[in-house]
């Protein structure tokens, strides 16, 4: 204990314990101040950009919609626009021309929700904040640059043909130019009108309704909903068998009992038609009649590793397939027993694919065994048309030999000439295809998925297109559901538009 004299009222006495308490409080307060300074420094120098870019930062929305946005272009025409708003602090909102037709391409730019698809990927170009858009004057004055534009590869005639042909069916379609990789059409139905989601004052009810819809109109089925591809996957197995040398050509008889006993089980793999000539059938005949026994055994004979290697050459299991929208991976499984490998050979078990993926399969076959990277954006430009970035020189890789591709093209033509794909015949066009009907639901208790993947070559110009279609659900009776019956006519419509055939 210490005392201090000469203090009015008598000496002041401070106990050592009180001194320690004051020191501890002082140290604690100092630590709090230091922590506050550290946090402020961290926020200012390290988190400032994240906070500035946050979708919850109202200033970003105000800045984005202070001026008209740039546009997404199809065949030289803008399919987007901007409209002046009345009231509020957001001066403009996004508009769409033929919104449902192009929703699977554009996505949406909303005052209330994060942008999607091309609107999201290129939002900096479209709202003028991309550094490449700034002029020297913009940099000096701090003025925001004029927005740029996104030029797509979409052919409006192909897009409309697919959209109209799918109609009220639930499904999707993709069309690709095999030689350039340009995506000519991306269709997903049922669709939605992106205009419903653009205005912050009215977007909420539309958002809730679209998300509650069991048909999931906001899902891009063409790029982002892998489903069992059924017999269309037999093209991948056939390519693997020819490349491996298991069979020399598509007209060599296979060793394929009918039905095929699934290894290690008491079950057999039968065919849709008991009268089809599938026993020991050639690859050509097996594709023409879609013989399950042939391709189930072929997958087992090759082994899952060789089938997977070929599938991955086509793009299966690719986690970063950007067109530039990130497509969901199509999957070929990594671990299977022999009976599961047999089922994978007919596009069942855990095999899944998007229409984009199956269009890539047909595109590689059509282009002599070479796969050009698919893409649906050709250029980014500034407001005056100066090119900021060009995407018209995509990568390509060889998937199979030109001889194997020629063999498969010939076999696919047989499918359309006098097989399961006759609905896709088109005057003046050499068409090759493969139908598929994939099981759906527990014990196949729901309507099967109807698939068709194909290519068409104009007899007069040599121009080509590859098209893949899936129909998830339609008003057809279960007994009438088939790839040729439902998906084939959609592919035919898109090929006709792409090749300008009669």
148 in Cβ contact with 382 (< 8 Å): yes
Active site residue: 82, 110, 231, 474, which one?
Answer: 231
- Other residues' Cβ atoms within 10 Å of the Cβ of residue 267: 12
Which position has the higher pLDDT, 73 or 5? 73
What per-residue confidence (pLDDT) applies to 287? Answer: 98
State percent of the chain over pLDDT 90.
Answer: 77
- Is residue 10's pLDDT more than 60? no
State percent of the chain over pLDDT 70.
Answer: 90
Distance CA 478, CA 21 (A): 83
Half-sphere exposure of 35 (CA within 13 A, CB side): 6
Mean pLDDT of 186-205: 96
- Other residues' Cβ atoms within 10 Å of the Cβ of residue 266: 6
232 in Cβ contact with 483 (< 8 Å): yes
Question: Of the ranges 88-92, 249-253, 269-273, which one carries the lowest mean pLDDT score?
Answer: 88-92
Match 């539309």 to its residue by tokens.
206
Distance CA 429, CA 139 (A): 55
Question: Of the ranges 236-250, 347-361, 373-387, 471-485, which one carries the lowest mean pLDDT score?
Answer: 471-485
Q: What is the per-residue pLDDT across 293-306, written as a single tens digit (0 to 9) for each?
A: 999 999 999 999 99
**Of 442, 380, 385, 376, which is closest to residue 124 (Cα–Cα)?**
380
Which position has the higher pLDDT, 52 or 145? 145
What per-residue confidence (pLDDT) applies to 51? Answer: 46
Mean pLDDT of 443-455: 83
Parse the chain into domains and list their residue ranges: 224-373+393-499
Average pLDDT, the chain: 91
- CA 372, distance to chain mean position in Å, is 16
Distance CA 142, CA 459 (A): 57
- Is residue 54's pLDDT more than 80? no
Range of 7-16, 48-57, 129-138, 363-372 with top mean pLDDT? 363-372
Distance CA 165, CA 52 (A): 45
Q: Which two tokens stand for residue 188?
A: 């997903």
Phi-psi region of 388 (alpha: psi -120 to 50; beta: other; left: phi over 0): alpha
Q: What is the per-residue pLDDT across 120-131, written as a single tens digit (0 to 9) for each?
A: 999 999 999 999
Distance CA 367, CA 406 (A): 9
Which fold does the domain 224-373+393-499 belong to in CATH? Beta-lactamase (3.40.710)
Sequence-separated (6 or more) residues with CB below 8 Å from residue 2 = 13, 14, 16
Q: Which two tokens stand for residue 261?
A: 């006993």
279 to each of 106, 303, 420, how far by Cα in Å?
48, 21, 18
- Is residue 270's pLDDT more than 70? yes
Question: Of the ranges 29-38, 144-153, 262-271, which one carries the lowest mean pLDDT score?
Answer: 29-38
Tell me whether residue 290 is one of the annotated catalytic residues. no
The enclosing H or E element of 309 equals helix 304-314
Q: Which residues pair with 32 in a beta bridge?
A: none
**Of 321, 366, 454, 322, which is closest to residue 178 (Cα–Cα)?**
366
Instruction: Name the pairing type of β-strands 2-4 and 12-14.
Output: antiparallel
Range of 61-75, 88-102, 352-366 with top mean pLDDT? 352-366
Phi, psi of 327 (to 5 degrees): -80, 145
Helix (H, G, I), strand (E, B) or coil at 26: helix
């Amino acid at each position: 204990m210490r005392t201090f004299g000469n203090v009015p009222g008598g000496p002041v006495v401070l106990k050592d314990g009180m001194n320690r308490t004051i020191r501890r409080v002082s140290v604690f307060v100092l630590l709090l101040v230091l922590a506050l300074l550290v946090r402020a420094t961290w926020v200012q120098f390290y988190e400032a950009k994240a906070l500035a870019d946050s979708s919850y930062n109202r200033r970003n929305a105000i800045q984005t919609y202070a001026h008209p946005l740039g546009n997404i272009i199809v065949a030289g025409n803008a399919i987007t626009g901007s409209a002046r708003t009345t009231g509020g602090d957001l001066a403009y909102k996004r508009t769409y021309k033929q919104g449902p037709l192009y929703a699977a391409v554009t996505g949406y730019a909303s005052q209330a929700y994060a942008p999607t698809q091309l609107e999201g990927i290129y939002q900096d170009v479209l709202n003028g904040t991309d550094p490449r858009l700034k002029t020297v004057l913009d940099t000096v004055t701090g003025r925001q640059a004029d927005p740029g534009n996104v030029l797509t590869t979409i052919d409006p005639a192909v897009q409309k043909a697919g959209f109209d042909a799918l109609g009220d069916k639930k499904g999707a379609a993709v069309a690709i130019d095999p030689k350039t990789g340009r995506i000519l059409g991306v269709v997903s139905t049922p669709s939605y009108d992106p205009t419903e989601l653009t205005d912050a004052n009215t977007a909420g009810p539309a958002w809730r309704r679209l998300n509650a819809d069991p048909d999931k109109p906001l899902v891009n089925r063409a790029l982002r909903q892998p489903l069992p591809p059924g017999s269309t996957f037999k093209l991948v197995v056939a390519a693997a068998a020819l490349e491996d040398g298991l069979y020399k050509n598509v007209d060599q008889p296979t060793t394929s009992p009918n039905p095929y006993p699934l290894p290690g089980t008491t079950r057999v793999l039968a065919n849709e038609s008991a009268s089809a000539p599938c026993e020991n059938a050639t690859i050509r005949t097996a594709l023409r009649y879609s013989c399950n026994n042939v391709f189930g055994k072929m997958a087992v004979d090759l082994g899952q590793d060789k089938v997977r290697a070929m599938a991955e050459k086509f793009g299966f299991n690719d986690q970063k397939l950007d067109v530039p929208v990130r497509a969901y991976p199509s999957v070929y499984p990594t671990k299977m027993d022999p009976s599961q490998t047999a089922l994978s050979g007919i596009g069942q078990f855990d095999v899944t694919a998007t229409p984009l993926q199956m269009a890539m399969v047909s595109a590689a076959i059509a282009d002599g065994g070479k796969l050009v990277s698919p893409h649906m954006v050709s250029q980014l430009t500034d407001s005056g048309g100066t090119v900021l970035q060009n995407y018209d020189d995509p990568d390509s890789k060889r998937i199979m030999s030109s001889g194997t591709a020629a063999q498969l093209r010939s076999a696919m033509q047989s499918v359309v000439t006098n097989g399961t794909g006759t609905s896709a015949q088109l005057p003046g066009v050499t068409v090759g295809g493969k139908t598929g009907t994939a099981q759906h639901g527990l014990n196949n208790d729901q309507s099967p998925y109807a698939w068709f993947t194909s290519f068409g070559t104009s007899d007069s110009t040599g121009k080509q297109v590859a098209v893949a279609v899936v129909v998830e659900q339609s008003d057809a009776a279960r007994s009438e559901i088939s790839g040729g019956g439902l998906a084939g006519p959609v592919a035919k419509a898109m090929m006709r538009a792409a090749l300008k055939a009669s």
